[in-house]
Amino acid sequence: MTGIDWRLSVRGDSRRAGTPAARTGFRDLLDTVDAAELAGIDGILVPHDPSGDESWVVAGAALRATRHVRVTAEFSPAFGSPVYAAKVSATLQRLSRGRFGWRLRATPAAEEYRRAAEFLEVARGVWNSEPVGGNGFEGTGFDYDGEYFHVADGGFRGILSGLPFPRVEIAGDDGAALALSARLGDVHVFAERRDAPLGDRLIALRSAAAATGRTVGVALEIPVIARESDDEAWQRAERLIRQAGAVPDPADRLDHARWAGFRAAGFDDEIGLVGSYSTVAARLREYAAAGVDSVILTGRPHIEEIHRVGEHLLHLTDPSARLPRASRSEEVPA
């Protein structure tokens, strides 16, 4: 079964491409979160956006407002102290019964990958997934002397111990990103690309993970326009391009379901899916068969598109296995 997540917008939303996102109240953002939970979406990604609301604050609010959906905050490894990030995360795990996750945002630069690796090593080092008694200022003996971070006698005890470490997502296609995921990540996130078949990149990830003796989950981040018919969906795609002030390019229509015009229409990713609900669901099933464990969808306007996905698409992606969210067990006791 393929998990279905949703990427939020943290700088507002708009119905038309090419227009500034409307300045809306924070309640509107939480309404989108509520819609995702109601629709049966499995997880929410809160992106890092220098011009938008802070991802950690939005994630905390989303966790408080929901009961079942996973919430992942994207942030840079230059965010600050990994020990403090781990402590905040431990509290969020207590609040949410283990639903909080991380997406580390690192640009393809050797220094950023080294910092990201140290950040994760330190955060995992001070974390104790099994309960550890005691309180006060004593650690549990974790020491670290790195290029960017230093820890002496770190380690969580008491109420900060005995919790699941946040699920770690890492994105990127270069060898350093794959190596970082293979060693320290839980899920590697890809995007569709014109110049690099997804299958080849999945093979490279599995090879890197196998060299470390680990397995790493696979996610695909992909925007979507799904409607009752293929024609209706492609008409919507063409309207988005024209609203953005561009002219539709026939070369962007890569096949019957993939369109490379999303970035021109204001999305972060270039390539996404366009088609009827059955067409899009069939392509999502193909991704699952190729080894993709979850997809991170997005669309505009968010609330309306989430409801479309929940009502018309989710049950088609895996009719035999998708269960109502309320029937799934919670893993972390209160």
Q: What tens digit of pLDDT does each residue of 72-126 get?
A: 999 999 889 999 999 999 999 999 999 999 999 888 778 899 999 999 999 999 9
pLDDT at 108: 78
Per-residue b/e over 34-47, b at no fewer than 16 CB within 10 Å?
bbbbebbbbbbbbb
Per-residue b/e over 164-181, b at no fewer than 16 CB within 10 Å?
bbbbbbbbbbeebbbbbb
Alpha carbon of residue 327 to chain centroid: 23
pLDDT at 2: 82
Alpha carbon of residue 221 to chain centroid: 8
pLDDT at 79: 85
Alpha carbons within 13 angstroms on the beta-carbon side of residue 127 total 22
pLDDT at 137: 80
Question: Hey, what's the torsion of the CAs at 185, 44, 107, 293, to 10 degrees?
Answer: 50
Structure tokens at 263: 């970035």
pLDDT at 327: 39
Q: pLDDT for 200-230, tens place per residue?
A: 999 999 999 999 999 999 999 999 999 999 9
Long-range contacts of 194-198 (CB under 8 A, 24+ apart): 194/254, 194/260, 194/270, 194/271, 198/287, 198/290, 198/292
Backbone angles phi, psi at 142, to 5 degrees: -85, 120
Mark the ranges of the chain whose per-residue pLDDT is less than 70.
Answer: 1, 14-24, 321-334
pLDDT at 25: 79
Per DSSP bridges, beta strands 187-191 and 167-171 are parallel
| Rounded Cα gap, residues 72 and 46, in angstroms | 6
| Rounded Cα gap, residues 221 and 190, in angstroms | 6
Structure tokens at 230: 């293929």
pLDDT at 14: 62
* Listed residue (295, 286, 230) closest to 257, CA to CA: 230
Q: Are 118 and 148 in contact (CB under 8 A)?
A: yes
Question: Hey, what's the torsion of the CAs at 229, 251, 283, 262, to 10 degrees?
Answer: -80
Please give the DSSP secondary-structure letter assigned to residue 312: I
pLDDT at 283: 98
